Structure 1
Amino acid sequence: MGRKREFDVDQALDAAVCLFWRNGYEGVSYTDLTQATGVERPALYSAFGNKEALFRRALARYYEHYLDFVPAALELPTSREVVERLLFKSAELHTRYPDHKGCLGINGALACSDDTEPIRRAVIDARAEGEVSLRERFERAKQEGDLPETANCAALAAFVMAVVHGMAVQAKAGFSRDMLEAVAEQALSTWPTGNSTLSGKPS
């Protein structure tokens, strides 16, 4: 019979999330992880595998626990409401924790070297999935008349993602939530509208 695990896996994973969020992937050593989680290296290896596997678990937990507002935002009635929710929730999240600002995915990938290409690829793939979901939502908005027929849904999705990611970098550099929300307002000020009642404007 195997030895019973003597630590809370979820608590250890949450600690790893915060550490990767603050320092990025390459800025975290196994010594850092053992100190942050309070778990010795053999037990961490047993529970999570190597550092790359632990980061992937941490990234999945980050998306599940901290970006849970994204699926809800995609269900809002208009494309502008979708974008507004995404931008303002991102501004709040990026500045919520003074000791780990920004975005775990962005922080984790910006300084990756060639040796950590799989990690950079994993983060890029995760962001790409989000961009696809956003593009599909905008395509539906276009069909509903909420966006104009001339709207480039792929470009709009890329634009929103660029703003969100830029806000994450700015938060990491010390920008306040108020400033990030001002950036969000600026981005929203040019949002295109269609001719349906969904847009809230007369045709």
Structure 2
Amino acid sequence: LYVYMWLGSIECLLLAVMSYDRFTAICKPLHYLVIMNPHLCLKMIIMVWGISLANSVTLCTLTLNLPRCGKNILDHFLCELPAMVKIACVDTTAVEMSVFALGIVIVLSPLLFILISYGYIAQAVLRMKSKAGQRKAINTCGSHLTVVSIFYGTIIYMYLQPGNSASKDQGKFLTLFYTIITPSLNPLIYTLRNKDMKDALKKLMRVEYESTEMKRN
């Protein structure tokens, strides 16, 4: 549970760091290598891992210390914090408020930073006179925006809502979505920006199509 929460928090904060990388690349291209130097990248990664670890230790400890009064069967795919809070046999208002407060820090704060970054990026793209430059900038940000939309949409719905407002089936589906489906799509979303990967995928689809046609004939 601790590792699961730790990695989930890392994903949230890492997407914000990536948005800063996109902002620097598009809004300050001549200074990119100076700003995004290895020393700064290392510090940002250490900060992301450290904050995420602190969040995991705090939330998981609060949740695991709740008394269950014999309720030891969790109707879920995995040990999801909201589901574990629901089977506690005491008032969980304080824990839910803690989850909500840390959710704002770990989820909404990075999301706000991402939106601000993309606000500046949009202004920079609109000022570009070259259509090719605009396409290149959009291509640079497209994959990141896709992952942000999918990941944050489900996370916000899961962790920043009243405790009993979602059904168990909704919770199961959303957990399955952002823990398995979204990470599985990440390699595909990010690598499709690469021209070599696009060409390889087209070649693979063409070979598959030709093979299917030969079998039919």
Structure whose alpha-carbon radius of gyration is higher: 2
Which TM-score applies when normalising by structure 2? 0.31
Which has more helix, going by share of residues? 2
